[in-house]
Structures are given as structure tokens and as C-alpha cells.
Amino acid sequence: MQYISTRGQAAKIGFCDVLLAGLARDGGLYVPENWPTLDTAPNANYANRAASIMAPFVGDEIDRNVFGQLCADAYSTFRHPEVAPLVEIGPNEYLLELFHGPTLAFKDVALQLVGKLFDHVLTQRNQRVMIVGATSGDTGGAAFDGVASCRNVDLVMLYPNNRVSDVQRRQMTTIMSPNVHAVAIDGTFDDCQDLVKAMFNDQKFRDANQLSAVNSINWVRVMAQVVYYITATEKLGRSAVFSVPTGNFGNVLAGWIAKQMGASIEGFVVASNTNDILTRFFESKKLIANEVVPTLSPSMDIQVSSNFERLLFEMNNRDGLATAKQLTSFRATGNLDVAQSVYQQWISGVFVGRRCNDEQTLATMQDVYQQSGMLIDPHTAVGLSAGRQSAGVDYPKNMPMITLATAHPAKFPDAVRRATGQTPQMPEHLADLMTRPERSVSLANDLQAVQAFVAGCRN
Ligand SMILES: *Cc1c(COP(=O)(O)O)cnc(C)c1O
């Protein structure tokens, strides 16, 4: 399997190069040359099923048995034997629980595997990389946990000082492995992201320090998320709609790929909080960026969803130059229009957008608690509310609706307490998280200072 860039200018490369490159040199995102067809049999073991679903994407670059073992290792860190259990909560209403990994958010499903893959590929190539990234929340902890035991990876993660939750910060700062570094930047998340971009755009620095990325535009993260859409429909034994709490559009794009491969999926409810650029797009065929508003579901407080580029590329019949032109104009004007015929072909009947504000989020959390005694996190609540708005309107009421439960309630205890009066219990392996010693560095919002720090972290 070869990979091409959504902007049409970068050379084709194979799976292992895509893993290490993250972003293509032409600024585009890598996608496989074609979507493979699902032709393997269901398997009750999640890791085995994952290996067979992902095999066509890996191609012959990693031995089939080795890849199977990497999947087994990655998913052995999950606390639930099914890894991603499907839980019925009402008539035709299900939660797909994706938070049983080490850092309690669905990002573990991809980043546990990404860590194992980096370790394997870099050992084979006798190479070492420096991963740099910025986090506004869940990615930081999941990336730390994913690569803390990698022998050939150093990781520097920038986060905005005093702007991530205590749990999220501690999931980075309490990991003492010498190859991972949490850096508090005196600035906002956007400042952190700009610093990372500037380091990547400095070709000399980038090459000298072997920079690499694990943010959500990395193809391997999307690929690992395709799996649970397929295992969920196989467990259900009939076709379903998925409601997906959405930020960067990575998770819902993975679902769309599962559908392309032949999974029995009717369609997707793209669930947004007050930052509803995608909902407005699905209503108006126009993508128009606004200011970011902070909400109770911070991992979805995003205006420009980077993975949407992969869908745009499909909507342009895989014309990379047209996609690049469209995105350049979007950056300049904050505005992107899609023709009616294109919308009909790619969006109608597949995606609907629904939004849920903080008040509705709390009401949904309270309702689930009263109905079933179950605590859900605010991101999951946005998805559930959106799915409920859509059921019986966009889809028949008797169609199963599966909401992706993207975080454990203990990750967002303040919102859970506000909605239900209950304090969610931290899983045992993190019970002493709030009293563990912390290790972190503070730096000014200054490129030179950050570059000097990164260079000094190389082992
Ligand atoms: C990252 C995240 C999301 C958003 O997922 P995308 O792939 O960016 O759309 C939703 N919920 C939680 C808890 C997250 O951490």
C-alpha cells in the first residue's frame, strides 16, 4: 500500500514513512491510494481483529505476525477484556466505551499502538526521533503513556500554563521516564501550536533534531480508530448510526473509512458543542470559521478541524491541487463553499450535524444518571444529546444509535458533580494521581528558548 498527499505535490511513500513523517512536505495529509475492502472474518479478540482489519493499510512493510504482536501488546494495556465494549443503555441506544485505556480517553486506542509502532520501526532502522507536540488536554497524557517506554523516542509536549485541567496536567508531569518532557508555556494553546509549527517550518532545526509528530493528523491514529467502528457493528449484528463527539474530525473520519470498507453503517451524527463550525457546514454547505468559545467539553473546543481536509480531498475526487487551492483560500478568507452536486454525492444521507450547548450537556448527564445510575463525561454527553436529537428525525426511531463514549467520567469530575452531585471514582491505577510528585519545566512563549530546550533533550 502506498500513500499520497491530499495536496497532490508530495511523493508517494509507504506505511512506515507515513508513520514517522506525520505531515507531508507539501503541507497535506497522507491518505492510502485506495480504500481496501473488508474481507476478513469477525474475531472475538479485539487485538486479533484489529490486526486483520489494519493489515491492508500496513501492506508488506511489517511482517504480519510482528504486527499482530504489536497490536496484542498495545491493547493489553486496556482494563476491559473487550477493549471497546458496546453497552446498551436504552431501546436502540448504545454507548461504545472507548475510555478503558491507561489515560481514560479514546486517544489511547490509537496512541498505545503508535508508541509500539515507533519503537519497532525505529529499532529496525537504527534511528532515533524527537516528537514535538502541543496539547490542550487529552493528547498530552495519551502520548506520554504511549511513548514513555520507547527506546528510540524523545518527546517534548507543550501545554498552556494554567489552562489544562489538574488531571490532564498530572497525566504528563507525574511520568518520570527520562525521555518525556512536559513544558508549560506562558501563553495559550494557539501559542503552543504556533511554536510547534515554527519548529517544523525551520527545516534546518527539523532535520538536525529528527522532528516527528503524533498529533491527530498522523494517518496511523486515524487507521487505529477505524477498528472499533467495525467491531461494534459486528457485535451488534445489524446496521447502525454512530453519533461522534467531534473536534478535529479524526474520529468521525475513521468511521467514514470503515463505511467505505464495507462495515454496515447507515451514517454519522457529527456532534459539536457550541463550537459548531461543522454543524453549520452540514446545514449551509459553507465552512465559516468563528472564535473558539470555552465549554464543558474542552477537547472539542476547536474551530478548524484539521482532519476535514481528508474528506475534502475525496469530495474533490482526489484532486490534490484543487484541495490545496480551496484550503489556501479558506485560510485567507475564513470561508469555503461546496457545490450542491458535490454535497449531494458525499454528504447527504451520510453525515448530519447536531449541536449541544453546556446546558444541554449537563441535562443529558443528569438524565442518564437518573435513568440508569450511570455517570458519563461531558464529551460523551454531547454525542448522546446529538444522537437523541437525530433519532426519529434523520433516522427511523428503531435504527440502533451508537454514541462513542470518548472519555471516562473521572477525567472531568467538576462537570460530573455539577450535573449529578456525584463524584466519579478514579480507576485504581490512577487513584493516587493527585498526590504523586510532578516534574515539569516552564518556558516563555519564545521560539529560541523552546528550540534550545528541545535540542538539549535529545538523547
Ligand atoms: C480528542 C477528543 C475528542 C475529539 O475527537 P476528534 O478526533 O478530534 O474529533 C472528543 N472527546 C474527547 C474526550 C477527546 O479527547
- What span, in angstroms and rounded, lies between the C-alpha atoms of 430 and 428? 5
Residues with CB under 6 A from ligand 1: 105, 107, 138, 216, 245-251, 299-300, 379, 406-407
The 10s digit of each residue's pLDDT in 433-450 is 999 999 999 999 999 999
Average pLDDT over residues 261-285: 94
Residue carrying the nine cell digits 491492508: 56
Average pLDDT over residues 243-249: 95
Among the listed residues 12, 107, 235, 411, the single catalytic one is: 107
Residue 155 has a pLDDT of 97
What are the CB-based long-range contacts (under 8 Å, 24+) for 448-451?
450/158, 450/183, 450/185, 450/195, 450/199, 451/199, 451/202, 451/205
Residue 249 Cα to ligand 1 middle (Å): 8
- What span, in angstroms and rounded, lies between the C-alpha atoms of 111 and 343? 33
Please report the atom of ligand 1 found closest to the CA of residue 252.
9
Average predicted confidence (pLDDT) for the chain: 94
| Closest Cα to atom 14 of ligand 1 | 299
Query: Which of 296, 380, 406 has the most ligand 1 atoms within 8 A of CB, as the residue to mutate?
Result: 406
Q: Does residue 329 surpass a pLDDT of 80? A: yes
Query: Which of 96, 108, 251, 256 has the most ligand 1 atoms within 8 A of CB, as the residue to mutate?
Result: 251
Average pLDDT over residues 262-281: 95
pLDDT band at 382 (very low <50, low <70, confident <90, very high): very high
Q: Does residue 19 surpass a pLDDT of 80? A: yes
Residue carrying the nine cell digits 482489519: 53
Residue 437 has a pLDDT of 97
The 10s digit of each residue's pLDDT in 67-90 is 999 999 999 999 999 999 999 999
Please report the atom of ligand 1 found closest to the CA of residue 254.
7
Q: Does residue 55 surpass a pLDDT of 90? A: yes
Q: Give the global pTM.
A: 0.96
Q: Does residue 296 surpass a pLDDT of 90? A: yes
Domains and CATH numbers, the chain: 86-101+219-420 (3.40.50.1100)
Query: Which of 138, 268, 276, 382 has the most ligand 1 atoms within 8 A of CB, as the residue to mutate?
Result: 138
Average pLDDT over residues 25-37: 94
Q: What string of H, E and C letters represents the secondary structure of the chain?
A: CCEEECCCCCCCECHHHHHHHCECCCCCEEEECCCCCCCCCCCCCHHHHHHHHHHHHHCCCCCHHHHHHHHHHHHCCCCCCCCCCEEEEECCEEEEECCCCCCCECHHHHHHHHHHHHHHHHHHHCCCEEEEEECCCHHHHHHHHHHCCCCCEEEEEEEECCCCCHHHHHHHHCCCCCCEEEEEECCCHHHHHHHHHHHHHCHHHHHHCCEECCCCCCHHHHHHHHHHHHHHHHHHCCCEEEEEECCCCHHHHHHHHHHHHCCCEEEEEEEECCCCHHHHHHHHCEEECCCCCCCCCHHHCCCCCCCHHHHHHHHCCCCHHHHHHHHHHHHHHCEEECCHHHHHHHCCCCEEEEECCHHHHHHHHHHHHHHHCCCCCHHHHHHHHHHHHHECCCECCCCCEEEEECECHHHCHHHHHHHHCCCCCCCHHHCCHHHCCCCCEEECCCHHHHHHHHHHHCC
Q: Looking at per-residue confidence, does 285 or 99 come out higher? A: 99
Residue 446 has a pLDDT of 97
Please report the atom of ligand 1 found closest to the CA of residue 251.
7
Residue 163 has a pLDDT of 83
Residue 247 Cα to ligand 1 middle (Å): 5
Residue carrying the nine cell digits 517534548: 156
Q: Looking at per-residue confidence, does 454 or 187 come out higher? A: 454
CB 308 within 8 A of CB 301: no
The 10s digit of each residue's pLDDT in 368-380 is 999 999 999 999 9
Residue 221 Cα to ligand 1 middle (Å): 12
Average pLDDT over residues 123-135: 95
Please report the atom of ligand 1 found closest to the CA of residue 99.
13
Residue 75 has a pLDDT of 98
- What span, in angstroms and rounded, lies between the C-alpha atoms of 387 and 235? 20
Clarify whether 107 is annotated catalytic: yes
Please report the atom of ligand 1 found closest to the CA of residue 245.
10
Average pLDDT over residues 279-294: 88
Residue 65 Cα to ligand 1 middle (Å): 31
Question: What's phi and psi for 87, nearest 5 deg?
Answer: -120, 125
- Give me the sign of the Cα torsion angle 333, 282, 377, 76: negative
Contacts of 328 (CB under 8 A, 6+ apart): none
